[in-house]
Each structure stands twice: as C-alpha cells, then as structure tokens.
Amino acid sequence: MKNGNTEKIISILQFFPIIIVWSIALGFTAFIIYIINLSNALEDKPSIAIGVSLVAIPLLWTMASVLTYVFVGLKRGRKKEER
Amino acid sequence: MKHANDHFGEDSVLFDPIYKSGKMFYVALSVFLAVAGFAVYLYIRQYYLGLGVTGLNYPVFWSFYIVNFVFFIGISHAGTLISAILRLSKAEWRRPVTRVAEIITVIVLLIGAIHPIIDMGRPDRILNVILYGRYQSPLLWDMTAITTYLMASSLYLFLPMIPDIAMMRDKGTKFKWLYTILAWGYEGTPAQKHVIEKAMTIMMVMVVPIAVSVHTVISYLFAMTVQPMWHSTIFAPYFVVGAIFSGTAVLLIVMVVLRKVYHLEAYLKEIHFKHLGTILLVMSLLWGYFTFSEYLTTYYPQEPHEMKVFWYKFTGPYTLFFWGMVALNFVIPILLLSFKKDIKGIFIASICITIGMWLERLIIIVPSLISTRLPYPTGFYIPTFTEIGLFVGGIALFCMGYLLFARFFPLLTVWEVQEGRDHGIKEVNDRLRSYLPDKK
Amino acid sequence: MAKWGMVIDLDKCTMCGACIASCHIENNVAIVGPDEAKKNRTIFWMDTITFQEGEHPNTKIKIVPRPCMNCQNPLCTYVCPVNATQKGEDGIIGQIYPRCIGCRYCAVACPYTVKYFNWYKPEWVKKFKKTLNPDVSLRPRGVVEKCTFCIHRLQKAREKARAEDRRLVDGDFMTACAESCPTKAISFGDLEDKSSMVYELHNSSRAYRIFDDMGTEPTVYYLTEDE
C-alpha cells in the first residue's frame, strides 16, 4: 500500500517537467497570437510578429515534443519483468 | 583507504563532490551567498530609490547593466554550442568537457536574463511587455530568443544527465528520492538508450542555430538603431564570434578551477586544454579579423559622426580601454596560445580574454552613446558602487550555482566517459579504418 | 488631417532662453538639484545646441533651439517594446507615462537625443508646486519623457473650437515656446494648411531640417541665411 503511494507521488513529480515545458510552449504560442491580434488592432505592423512566430513556435513545440518523447520512451523501454 | 562511494568503480572520484563534501563547501557557499545577498540588497535599494543610484545620465542611457547583459549571455555560448558541435563532429576528446560547458550555459543564461529587468526604470511594470508587447522592438526578439535558448539548453543539459542520475539512484547513498524522480525510470535497457540518443541528436542539431540566433538578436538591439558605429551590418556575426570567444575562455577558466578544486586531473587532462586552446586561438584570430574590418570600414570613408565615436575610442577618454581590449583579446592570447600552450598559459590567456571581452562590450556600447550625433557637450560615464556591486553579485551567483550543481550532480558526463572506455576505442578504430583506402 | 510643425528662424533668435523657461513651466518639467545637474541629469524638453564653426581665431558660434523633432518616420517608436511612445493621430509623437517600463530604448534610438529619463522621483520646491500646470500630468520616477508639442493645448484648442462650432484656424494652437518667443523666431502651426504662416515659412528657400538625409522626416524646420 505504502509502496504504491510513493510510486504514485514519484510518477506525478516525474510528470512535472513535461507540464512546465508544454506550458512554456503553449503560453508562448498564445502570447504571440495575442500580440499579432493586438498589432492588427492598433494598426501596427504584425508582419514581424508573424515572422518571429513562424520560427519560435515550431522550435518550442519540437522541444516540448522531444521531452515528451523521451518521457514516454523511457516509460515504455523499462525492463519487462517489473510488471 | 575505503571511500564512501567506492561502489562507483573506476570513476568514483567524479562522485566525490556529492558524497564527500567537507567544510569547504559550506564556507564557499556562505561566502558566495553573502556576496549575492549584498547584491540583492543593492538592487532592492535601487528599486526603491530609482535608477539615479547608478552612474547613468543624459546621453549615456545604457551602460553597465546592458554591458553585463551582453557579457553574460555571450558566455552562455560556450556551453551548449561547443558541446553540440563537438558531439556532432564526433570529437572523441569531448567526453569530459561537454557537461562542464552545458552547466555554464544554463546558469549564465539565467543570470543574463535578469539584467534587462535590473536595467528597467519601472520593473514593477514588467507585465506591460506581455499586455502591450510589440514585436517591432528588438527587446522582444531578445526575450523570445533567450526563452527558447534557455529551454533548449536546459533540455540539452538534462537529457544526457538521465543515465548518470539513474546510476546515482541505483548505487548512491544520498538524495535517493531526488534521483528516483529525475531519472524518469531509466534502467539502461537498449530501447531506453536508443530513445535518449535519438532525442539528443535532435537537440544537438537544434541547439546550434538557436545559440547563434540568440547573439545575433542581441546585436540587433544595437544594429537596429541609427547610432554611429552601432548601425552596422557586421554586428550580428561579430557578436556571435565574440560570444563564442568569451564563452570558450570562461569554459577554460572553469575547467582549470574544477580540476584543482575537485581533483579531476585524471579526467581534464592537458590534451583537453590544448584542444580547447586551439579553438580559442582560432576564435581570437577571427575576432581580430572582425574588429579590423569593423574599424577599417568606419575609418576609411571618414563619415563625421562615426569618426567622432572612432576617435573617442582610439585617442579619446576610452583609449586605455580600447587598446587594453586589443591587447587582452588579440595580442596577449595569440602570443600565449602560440608559444606557451600549457595549462598555465591557456589559463592566463582565458582570463585576459574574459576581461577583454567585457571591455569590448563596454567599448561598443558607451562611446556611441556619449558622442551624440548633435553637438551636445560630450557626455561622461562613471559607474557607481551599485553597478559594480551588482556585477560582482552576478559572478557570485554564477559560482554559487556551479557549487550547488556540483553538490547534487556529477560534473562530468560519467556514462559518456565509460562509453568511450568501453566502446569508443573500438569505434574510433573502425571509423579510422573506414576513412582509409580499403584493403585489397 | 493636420500636420503640426514648427519653424524656427535662427536669424531672428537672440538666445534669450525664454522658450526654455516657458517650456519648463508649461509642461511641469522637473527641476533637478545642483548635484544631479552636475551628473548631466537635467531635463530640457526644449534645449539649445551650440554649433561651433571654424578654427580658434575665426570661430563662429551658432545656437540652435531644439525641441523634439516630431519625426514623421519616428525611429523611437519603432523600438518601444510596449507601445509607450507612438505617433498620434495628429502626427505628434506622444509618451504614455503610465505604460512606460523605463527601458530607455527610445532614448537610445533617437538620433537627436531629445528624450530624457526620470532618474529619481521628480520633486518641486514649495514655490513651484503651486504653479504646476494642471493640464499636464506629472511624471513618476523611472519613465522617459520628451517635448510633446504642448499636445494638451491642442486638446484645449480643439474643444474650444468645437464649442464655438468652427474649425481650428492658424493661431488657435500654439506651443508655449512659440508663444513666449519675444522676437517671434519660433512659429508653430499646420504645415498642410496653406493659409498658415508655417506653410509659407517652411517652403522658403532658407528652410532646412536637421539630418534631413536620414529619412526621419522631422516636422521642425530651421530658417537661416548662411549654411
């Protein structure tokens, strides 16, 4: 019982970096979309924001995906006998 | 003599800082903590009184803090970039160097990222950048690039650390709960190894352009204005070269210190210093080349506004700094690295370069602001105690970060060293054979 | 749409400094103490620049009053990260003090160096506190400020014209410096209004702009015979 509990806490804590990375990636995406809308509304120049977003968003998403891939891959790649 | 961590086998000395830290650790930590704490006090004082406590004034709106910002972010290029390039090019001597470099990147990036906030007149309005942000401003490009780079270099530090953490989880005696969490259930099965290798390859490829973009964008902070001697197309590559240059120098300093403090003589050998010294020499020549073309293109057409800044640096009040920079970045390192290429010579050259590169940023930023386009009376700038204190605090923070990292994680990539010992030699043999003409 | 501009006749300027003084009083520009002044931290929305021409015995001194150039292609607004300095509908570059984060990028980017920063909280001696202009907001510590072509007067003039049910005419909107100039060296008005005085003056052959070749399109013109 106690063992199962600690394992649960551990797996929750292990999931933490994934949450952080994705919240940065998604947060930034939301921010850039907001900025593009804002510069449209203010008749500013949205072109630069769009240019930056085309580079930054795929990069952040790729990095978040890489970390998720490692997380899932390590979970799957465990020794079979433990089950 | 029996060590507490003998079960780590051959490489047990790498785990000494974690399992056998003595009094010195706490003494050093408290010294750094005191200095950093004093810097925090200075900043809080500045926060309440206003930026008037600095030496900034009417034409010199930017100086010490922005110099430090560029300086710290510049150092961050040591790590990830060098480590990624060395790994990608399969340089076998990289194995003990990579993590030392990556740690520098992450810590220094965090310190550098604080500097624009320190420099702000109204840090309480920082949220305005999000609420009313405009991507037309290069400051936001910086923010984006630094965020991306911080994320990339943290991942790039973390991924190769997983096998080492798992090793400490299985064999270590301390902080087992921490390592269990961070190891992500790594057990060294072939499938898991494959996952990490694949992820690392993706990160290696991604980190290089991101790192280059960071200092490119920082140079745009200056190059996008029309100020004389800032508005220059060469600035982006010039800054990137300078960043890698100063980063390599700091990496070498850190390596010398670690070697002494943590007794890593067996791992960080003279040959590693020599190889990095060669990189340093190349970067020094490249830096000299860029500086030469930058100043010659300014001098030749004799444009009056640019010449005002030019003479200000060459013969004016900044003479000492300018020629000091040339000596420290170019003359002394090239002499030392060509004729006295041992650890001591490389160490002295690295210290010279670190100081010289700080001066280079000062030389770029302040004279352009002092010599305004319109003929106002020439400005002046003398830093105050607050600014110097915050710089020293930043360095203390860096040392503290490194010390704390060393307390929890091995400073060298243990599995990479072991892998080199077990498989690397054979692999290199095979690879070398594949380069040569096939036997008939 | 009006295009507000200023024409300064350098041949008429006597360097009396009335524009500077009236600007200080009109716009609640903080008066820093002598210690701060020694550190180059005085604030002048309207300042004078001294050009020195020729070598020592045959020197010629030229003094030029310098407000904000109110460029039509304003480099300072490009770099602001929070839209705190922007070109308004009237073509006047405004500063939004409550939004400014104090990064001073605009001050650095301005080729004319017309922006000033509040290094400490601005304070006034008692006597001056009573004479503060209620139309102009007091700046807090840590923000950038500059000449705004007395934009508060434009707002007032426009309200007045609307109340009287007429259009703005030349002379309704005057900056403090133009109003106080004893030799009428500074004139101010709509550069696109063909009946205005500035229209005629800025088209004269004596007119020039500072760094005209830089493409900033300043709306402050200078008139001078020599050059």
pLDDT value for A83: 46
* Cα B47 from chain centroid (whole Å): 27
pLDDT value for B288: 93
Please report the beta strands in B276-361, taking only residues with DSSP state E, as ranges in sequence order: none
Contact B181 A13 (CB under 8 A): yes
Contact B50 C79 (CB under 8 A): no
pLDDT value for B112: 92
pLDDT value for B5: 55
Task: Give the ipTM.
Answer: 0.90
Q: pTM for the whole thing?
A: 0.92
Work out the number of other CB atoms within 10 angstroms of the CB of residue B321: 18
pLDDT at B6 over 60: no
Name residue B295's amino acid: Y
Block residue for tokens 């950038």 = C144
Distances (CA, A) of B219 to B112, B139, B375, C111: 15, 11, 26, 18
Q: Which residues of A touch B190 (CB under 8 A)?
A: 77
B59 to chain C: nearest residue by CA? C113
Interface with chain B: mutation pick from C101, C117, C210, highest number of B CBs within 10 Å: C101
DSSP A42: T
pLDDT value for B8: 67
pLDDT at B302 over 70: yes
CB nearest to C108's CB, from B61, B116, B133 = B61
Q: Which residues of C touch B129 (CB under 8 A)?
A: 81-82, 101
Distance CA(A44)–CA(A22), nearest Å, equals 30
Contact B195 A73 (CB under 8 A): yes
pLDDT value for B347: 92
Distance CA(B164)–CA(B430), nearest Å, equals 27
CB nearest to B122's CB, from C79, C101, C211 = C101
pLDDT value for B266: 82
Series of mean pLDDT values for 10-residue runs along chain C (227 residues): 87 89 90 86 89 79 89 90 87 90 91 91 83 89 91 90 87 89 91 86 88 88 81
Find out whether A4 and A28 touch, Cβ atoms under 8 Å.
no
Please state, rounded to an integer, the average pLDDT across all residues of chain A: 84
Token pair, residue B209, equals: 């352009």
| DSSP result, C161-222 | HHHTT----TTSS--HHHHH-TT--EEEEETT-TTSHHHHHHTSTTEE-TTGGGT---SEEE
Alpha helices in B20-63 (DSSP H): 23-49
Contacts for B433 with CB less than 8 Å, ≥ 6 apart: none
Token pair, residue C152, equals: 């508060």
| Each residue's pLDDT tens digit, B175-228 | 778 888 888 888 888 888 888 889 999 998 899 999 999 999 999 999 999 888
Contact B375 C105 (CB under 8 A): no
CB nearest to C108's CB, from B123, B129, B225 = B225
pLDDT at A2 over 80: no
| Each residue's pLDDT tens digit, B339-358 | 877 888 999 999 999 999 99
| Each residue's pLDDT tens digit, B47-100 | 999 898 998 988 899 989 999 999 999 998 877 888 888 888 888 888 888 888
Please state, rounded to an integer, the average pLDDT across all residues of chain B: 88
Q: Residue A1's pLDDT band (boundaries 50, 70, 90)?
A: very low
| Each residue's pLDDT tens digit, C179-219 | 999 999 999 988 888 888 888 888 888 888 988 888 888 99
